[in-house]
Amino acid sequence: MKIIITIFSFCTFSIYAQNNDNYEWSYNYINSMLQGEDSLNFVNAVFAVEDAYFDGKLDIDVFNQELDFLLKLIESFSKFDLVQYAGKDKLEISKHAAIFKVLTDTIPIFIDSATTLLHLPYTYDFEDSYGHSDWTKMFVSKLMLTGKGNCHSLPYLYKILADEIGAKCHLAFAPNHIYIKVHSQDKGWYNTELTSATFPIDAWIMASGYVTTTAIRNGLYMDTLSNKQAVANCLLDLTQGYQRKYGKENPEFVIKCCNTVLQYHPSNVNAMLTKAEAQKSYIQMQMKQKNVKKPSDLFTNAEIKTMYAEMEQIYTQLHELGYRRMPEEMYLQWIGLPKLEPEKYIEKDR
């Protein structure tokens, strides 16, 4: 059952204080997965992203040990009838029930007749949950060290574990949010929400007020990501870490990553938005440096003129696809709804 993250067994980065070689390497590695040159592997993509941020110094052995421990717990619990389910895919659903229990419940571990350890559930980190002050708050590695995560790291860890034990699941998007979708033969699709440790119905997604029917129809939200799209989305994580380390002065790397994500997932709303925002920031910086008041004053530069036109086209496209920006304070209220109003938003037979 031991998970082996092979990427770090053959690659040791040097420390680069003033350049982004780690980021270029991680981009090339993830892109090679997408192109079929390397095996498609979500956990390798996730840790390649996080290792780039840590300048190639992420200690993978520590996380292999934690993953191995979690997988052993999951293997044990998957043998029990944690859910009342009689479908032909009972074995698979039992695996998902075991993952959910291990991630969200307190589990006693009996060492001997006198010693019992408690494995505590992973919980939502409400302090700097968007990673504004500390970008590592978004990382699976931080979640595994501290036991606290967010709507990015928690579903990522779920998918990593599910992939390793062969339990099929999908990442799905809501505004500012990622959650898990699983399909069962008897019940159909159901949602797994790690931030509140519940199984909310689709009405919960709609309750945010920022999910339009147009956005759903166009695949911006509530759709399932394929494994390739999930790996491609890691390039979006790579761009955001890159911007935190190096600023927004040079948009080329960000745009390259976003274009690759969109190649495999054209409706990835976050990739479209990140690309347009990177272009916008660059143009605003150029206006300040050139001491001009309008973007059009920069259009003697053909590249900036093209960038501005593309940025405008993306913003228009996002609006037409049904995207609406969700304020952070509204998000924090929305994710608490399943626990505050379980009778309205949680599956009654789970």
Query: What is the model's pLDDT at position 11?
Result: 31
Average pLDDT, the chain: 88
CA distance 180 to 190: 8
Mean pLDDT in residue range 312-316: 96
Q: Over pLDDT 70: what percentage of the chain?
A: 93
Query: What is the model's pLDDT at position 238?
Result: 97
Between residues 86 and 185, the one the model is more confident about = 185
Query: What is the model's pLDDT at position 175?
Result: 92
Does 2 have pLDDT greater than 70? no
Question: Cα 280–283–288 angle (5° rounding)?
Answer: 125
CA distance 267 to 125: 29
Q: Full-prediction pTM beyond 0.85?
A: yes
| Residue 193: DSSP 8-state | B
Query: What is the model's pLDDT at position 292?
Result: 94
Query: What is the model's pLDDT at position 8?
Result: 31
Confidence band, pLDDT 50/70/90 cuts, at residue 348: low
Which tokens sit at 269?
Answer: 């709303």
336-337-339-342 Cα dihedral, nearest 10 degrees: -170
- Determine contact, residues 71/161, Cβ cutoff 8 Å: yes
pLDDT tens-digit readout, 226-268: 999 999 999 999 999 999 999 887 899 999 999 999 999 999 9
Query: What is the model's pLDDT at position 349?
Result: 63
Please state the φ and ψ torsions of residue 63, each to the nearest 5 degrees: -80, -30
CA distance 349 to 190: 11
CA distance 22 to 19: 8
Query: What is the model's pLDDT at position 16?
Result: 30
Q: Say which residues have a Cβ less than 8 Å from residue 348's Cβ, sequence separation at least 6.
A: none
CA distance 54 to 57: 6
pLDDT tens-digit readout, 23-75: 999 999 999 999 999 999 999 999 999 999 999 999 888 888 889 999 999 99
Confidence band, pLDDT 50/70/90 cuts, at residue 15: very low
Q: Say which residues have a Cβ less than 8 Å from residue 113's Cβ, sequence separation at least 6.
A: none
Handedness of CA 38, 177, 338, 222 (dihedral sign): negative
Q: Which residue has the tokens 């036991």?
A: 147
- Separation in Å, CA 151 to CA 81, 122, 193: 28, 12, 9
pLDDT tens-digit readout, 140-177: 999 999 999 999 999 999 999 999 999 999 999 999 99
Q: What is the bridge-based pairing of β-strands 148-149 and 123-124?
A: parallel
Q: Which residue has the tokens 């495999």?
A: 264
